[in-house]
Amino acid sequence: MKKAVRTDRELECPRVDAGLRSRGVNLVTLPEGIGEDGLAREVADADLLLMCYTPVTARVIEAAVKLRGIVKYGVGIDAIDIEAARRLGVPVVNVPEYAEETVAEGAFALMIGLARKLGALHCEMQSEGWAWPTPRWMGQDLAGKTLGLVGVGRIGRSLARMAGLGFRMRVLGYDPYVDEETMRRAGVEKVAELGGILERSDFVSLHTVLNSETRHLIGREQLARMKRSGVLINVSRGALVDEVALVEALVEGRIAGAGLDVFSQEPVTREGHPMSALYRMPQVLMTPHLTFYTQEAMDRLEEETLARCDELLEGRPVLVKSHDPRLRAQERGVVFG
């Protein structure tokens, strides 16, 4: 009997679990935070490893002597030691397309919520029952404002369409890997330098992968170049931002606000966390890494995940749809789509 291990079982994937079991696979589900030792023990005789958040280290991959492949049921692959997997000939695949529109909608929801102070107004209604039109509650239109995209891939281009065509915003884009013509077709004006985006944008939204080049892409220097009226949106990866510097910028009023769905250390807690101060800031909207989480997106995710599992379990090359160069550098057991 083939064995599959799925980590992060708190993210329920009933179609994936039932589908694997119906194929005669012995499926073991593990909780988030299982740790390297526990995961290494479980994958020692596994044919397939499915993960979402749990780190998959070189030691874990080396312990899995039967492993046919690693499936990230999601997009980001920064928690997987890709080089170790390549060295050992273990294919790695993700599911990059399932939530393009979904996550873009989530970013837009944070943006419009901050522009109209919806989070603070909701709290005021809950505590006081009403709010009068005093300067404290003055919002702003999105029409006519400038949105700066840091990363103009699938999600960024979806957000550009919503903002440009839907709300008549001007959209700027910084992405060294996307050419000017591709951006133009998406309604985005290409800007050559990150600083140029930060200085000119009313809202800055991050849509890039996390790797060694992009870690802390937005630090103290970059935050200092944003408008004092500027707002930062991050629905990609928490470590794209120097979060200590971000908290300082918000406390000191050097930027106007932030909408955050992702954090370097998750979950965030009200006390004892580097980002705990955000709970007390009315100019901040936080969501718990759930901009991807809709019924439609999860249906697509589970369908694609099962398809990749079938390819690996049947000994076929696994279809890599992502254009991430780390995955495109694989040479064994993969086919590119």
CATH classification at residue 317: 3.40.50.720
How would you list the strands of the sheet with 3-6, edge to edge? 26-29, 3-6, 48-51, 69-72, 92-93
Q: What is the pLDDT of residues 135-191, one digit of tens each?
A: 999 999 999 999 999 999 999 999 999 999 999 999 999 999 999 999 999 999 999
Active site residues: 237, 266, 289
**How far apart are alpha carbons 214 and 203 in whole angstroms?**
19
pLDDT tens digit sequence for 45-72: 999 999 999 999 999 999 999 999 999 9
- E-state strands within 2-154: 3-6, 26-29, 48-51, 69-72, 92-93, 146-150
Same domain membership, residue 77 and residue 176: no
Count CB atoms within 10 A of the CB of residue 26: 14
Which residues span the domain enclosing 67? 3-98+295-336
**Number of separate domains in the chain:** 2
304 with 239, same domain: the answer is: no
Last residue of a domain, one of 264, 286, 308: 286
The predicted-structure confidence for 256-279, as pLDDT tens digits, reads as follows: 999 999 999 999 999 999 999 999
State residue 11's pLDDT score. Answer: 97
Q: What does the alpha-carbon distance between residue 322 and residue 337 come to, in Å, rounded to a whole number?
A: 8
pTM assigned to the model: 0.93
Q: Among candidates 86, 85, 90, which has minimal Cα distance to 68?
A: 90
Check whether residue 29 and residue 162 sit in a common domain. no
Same domain? For 198 and 268 the reply is yes
| AA letter at 143 | A
pLDDT of residue 268: 97
Q: What is the pLDDT of residue 193?
A: 97
Q: In what order do the strands lie in the sheet with 231-234?
A: 189-190, 170-174, 146-150, 203-206, 231-234, 257-260, 284-286
CA atoms within a 13 Å half-sphere pointing along the CA-CB vector of 133: 1
End position of a domain, from candidates 269, 286, 303: 286
pLDDT at position 126: 97
- Other C-beta atoms closer than 10 Å to the C-beta of 219 total 15
Structure confidence by residue, pLDDT tens digits, 175-202 = 999 999 999 999 999 999 999 999 999 9
Asked if 167 and 76 sit in the same domain, the reply is no
d(CA 305, CA 103): 18
Q: Please, are residues 71 and 310 in contact by the beta-carbon 8 Å criterion?
A: no
pLDDT digits (tens, 9 = 90+) for 105-124: 999 999 999 999 999 999 99
Three-class DSSP category at 3 = strand
